[in-house]
Structure 1
Amino acid sequence: MSTQFDTPLPVTLELHGVRLEPLAPHHADGLRAAASDGELWQLRVTSVPEPHEVDAYIFKAIEQRPVRLAFAVIDSASGVLIGTTSYHDIVPAIGRAEIGYTWYAKRWQRTHVNTTCKLLLMTHAFETLGAALVGLRTDNFNHASQAAIERLGARKDGVLRHHALRRDGTVRDTVMYSITAGEWPEIKAHLRDKLARHGVR
């Protein structure tokens, strides 16, 4: 494992039929289709773009490098775009990065995709980049997201009150979680076991 944290550079990661590739303008049509599966932009506790906002969403993600590195989540077999996820709030000086801006088309939710993506991104962060800590955050009313993060094995750090604007103009509290490098080996084993128990090998 690296002892010095390296800023994440665009990279393609693949496991269990899921491919993460750097989000780019050519993913716009696929991202629109994924967001439309369930009209995800109507959920007030997420940041899913409306179809007409997708191009700007991708441009902003690219513009935010190197503090954010966004990925398109692709089904390897069909080439269908499933959704998107990102490293963000990257702080190389202290070896910290967060994983977020994550959403998937409705038909891919509650499948192995999220666990696989987290396994890919955390393995890369801890074992290639040398991260000391990986953080995750979510809206205090996004109970499904909180449950999913807790199932990964992340520890709840606390709540940042009156922290960020939602799309409807209300201000959310943000629930913060994290995983340290020392905790990673056990959590990695947990995620692999979780996937194996669901028939993903």
Structure 2
Amino acid sequence: MTDRTNAFGQAIGCDLPSWAPRELPAPVTLEGRFCRLEPINADRHAAQLHVAFSSAPDARLWTYMTIGPFADAQAYHDYLQSVEASTDPRHYAVIDRASGEAVGTLALMRIDPKNGVIEVGSVTFSPLLQQTPISTEAQYLLMAYVFDQLGYRRYEWKCDHFNAPSRKTAQRLGFSFEGIFRQAVVYKGRSRDTAWFAIIDSDWPKIAAAFQAWLAPGNFDAAGHQKRALADLRTQG
């Protein structure tokens, strides 16, 4: 950040003379090469998602979520029905283009259009999606929507500080670690210290270019394995 001072010699932030509040995220469909994001619809997505989540060998997927696990398919359908009309969080289903099936969900939440700040959360990726190109592309599609189409300034990721896989994923995707908020949340009858990560708009061009290079067909071998890691592409430019 550029150092500036006012008439009193006090340090102040940069001016934003053309800034205006941003639009709220819409129930858009976002198309990628591996996946598609669709607005959550219980009748269309709940059964497919329940099957996808049930493919896990145990319930550890839900440990750090504020929701779940769900007793059965009807309970999950009821949950999706309760959130599908929500505008904050705004939930999206991740559709595997190869199978046409919903395999995970994520949401835009804590939306602050006045200040251009938004968070990605409720990231619930089934075993059918985890550690696949779909999981990376789904994150990229939502980031690109927020930065390139809506023009937000700050994109946040928060998680339980004990959730090591989530913290690792945030940093792999290009988020910068910003610290721990102690005793920030109570959920499932326990206390949560929250790890904060963010991408800001000045970070985005380099991060976006790395995503695009990583997702390009030439970055995968015949078996579908990556040739260059996402983090390496950010570093190497």
Q: Where does residue 50 of structure 2 map in the other structure? A: 32
List, as ranges, runs of 4+ consecutive aligned residues in structure 1 with deviation greater than 4 Å.
none
Q: Where does residue 181 of structure 1 map in the other structure? A: 201
**Rg comparison, structure with higher value:** 2
Q: Which has the higher contact order (CA 8 A, sep 6+)?
A: 1
Tell me by how many angstroms 1:4 deviates: 4.5
RMSD of Structure 2 on Structure 1 (CA): 2.1
C-alpha separation in 2, matches of 1:19 and 1:40: 27
Q: Where does residue 119 of structure 1 map in the other structure? A: 140
Q: Where does residue 227 of structure 2 map in the other structure? A: none
| 142-151 vs 30-39, which moves further | 30-39
Q: Does 1:57 align with 2:79?
A: yes
**Contact persistence 1:3–1:130 (CA under 8 A):** no
The match for 1:44 among 44, 63, 83 is 63
**CA distances 1:57-87 after superposition (whole Å, capped 9, x unpaired):** 213323431x211001111222111110111
Q: How many residues align?
A: 198
* Letter matched to residue 47 of structure 2: D
Q: What is the identity percentage for the equivalent residue pairs of Structure 1 and Structure 2?
A: 30
Q: Where does residue 232 of structure 2 map in the other structure? A: none
**CA distances 1:31-61 after superposition (whole Å, capped 9, x unpaired):** 2112212156444223453135312321332
The match for 1:158 among 179, 185, 192 is 179
C-alpha separation in 1, matches of 2:148 and 2:213: 19
**TM-score under structure 1 normalisation?**
0.89
C-alpha separation in 2, matches of 1:173 and 1:198: 38
**TM-score under structure 2 normalisation?**
0.76
Q: Which runs of 5+ in 2 are unaligned?
A: 1-18, 225-237
Taking the TM superposition and a 5 Å limit, the aligned residue runs for 1:3-42 are 4-26=21-43, 27-38=45-56, 41-42=59-60
**Contact persistence 1:13–1:19 (CA under 8 A):** yes
Q: Does 1:83 align with 2:104?
A: yes
Any idea what SS the aligned residue of 2:214 has?
Answer: helix
**Contact persistence 1:44–1:166 (CA under 8 A):** no
Going from structure 1 to structure 2, the CA distance change for 1:20 and 1:187 (only over 3 Å counts) comes to same
C-alpha separation in 2, matches of 1:89 and 1:41: 27
C-alpha separation in 1, matches of 2:67 and 2:137: 20
Q: Which runs of 5+ in 1 are unaligned?
A: none
C-alpha separation in 1, matches of 2:66 and 2:55: 15
Whose helix proportion is higher, 1 or 2? 1
